[in-house]
Amino acid sequence: MTGTTALTIGEVIDRLIEEFPDVTVSKIRFLESQGLVEPGRTPSGYRQFTATDVDLLRWVLRQQREHFLPLKVIREALEATGGRVPHPDGEVDDAEVSPFRERGRQRRFVGAVSVSREELATTVGVDPPIIAQLERLGLLVGHEAGSATVYDGEALHVARLAARFLELGVDARHLRMFLVGAQREAGVLEQALLPRLRRDDRSQRDVRAQLDELVDAGSQLREILLRRSLGRLGDQA
């Protein structure tokens, strides 16, 4: 396949998904919207990628996954090379990578996502001040990396859910009830469960598995009770 062979976005996904199982069409479109890849277009408007575009996307995704670089840093590296994968080693300067890589080692990040506040806002379709408000409320947690603050896949998921609440007319400040409820639930489980698990001399993996099971069960129970309560409100309307 030559560098000018036309590929659809689905074919691009096929070439990337083995190395990046969480890559999606929306992810590729987002990277395009951020100016990290510029596919051609057919007369009818369909995207046409080349093998060079695929190599570029692969490099960008590796920088996010392996070095936890925010897109701003990746974009600056590409701008310095005229939009080509940096050579000779295909890496950003180590002095720029180190603070992000160190932050990634110290924290558990979800997936290969590492975005700035502005990128997070663009992805979920809200204004940056909304992201700042959600962070002040404790719903979003950013991670410091050098002079930048970046957000992982968990933050992206929370922001998307919060954006949907906003679309449905729920004010952001009311979403804090979910955080308060989760903290109270975690406190109860910690007091009731963890001492027994420690006495049973369970491995950390066993404890984590049981806690994950409790989270799932609690989510289902909470949904049932919430739907029951909302049903009663509907009957009174």
Nearest Cα to 30, choosing from 140, 161, 119, 148? 119
Q: Given a cut of 60, is residue 111 above it in pLDDT? A: no
Residue range 124-133: average pLDDT?
Answer: 90
pLDDT band at 166 (very low <50, low <70, confident <90, very high): very high
Give Cβ neighbours of residue 149 (< 8 Å, ≥ 6 apart). 116, 117, 142, 143
What is the number of structural domains in the chain?
Answer: 2
User: Is 160 inside any structural domain?
Assistant: no
Residue range 11-16: average pLDDT?
Answer: 92
**How far, in Å, CA of 54 to CA of 211, rounded?**
40
Out of 77, 93, 109, pick the residue that ends a domain: 93
CB 16 within 8 A of CB 59: no
User: Is 117 inside any structural domain?
Assistant: no
Convert the pLDDT of each residue in 40-79 to its tens digit.
988 888 889 999 999 999 998 888 777 767 777 788 888 8
pLDDT at position 202 is: 57
CATH number at residue 83: 1.10.1660.10
Residue range 204-223: average pLDDT?
Answer: 78
Cis ω before 88 (30° cut-off from 0): yes
User: Is 27 inside any structural domain?
Assistant: yes
Residue range 7-21: average pLDDT?
Answer: 89
Structural domain span for residue 182:
172-236
Out of 35, 58, 93, pick the residue that ends a domain: 93
**How far, in Å, CA of 159 to CA of 134, rounded?**
8
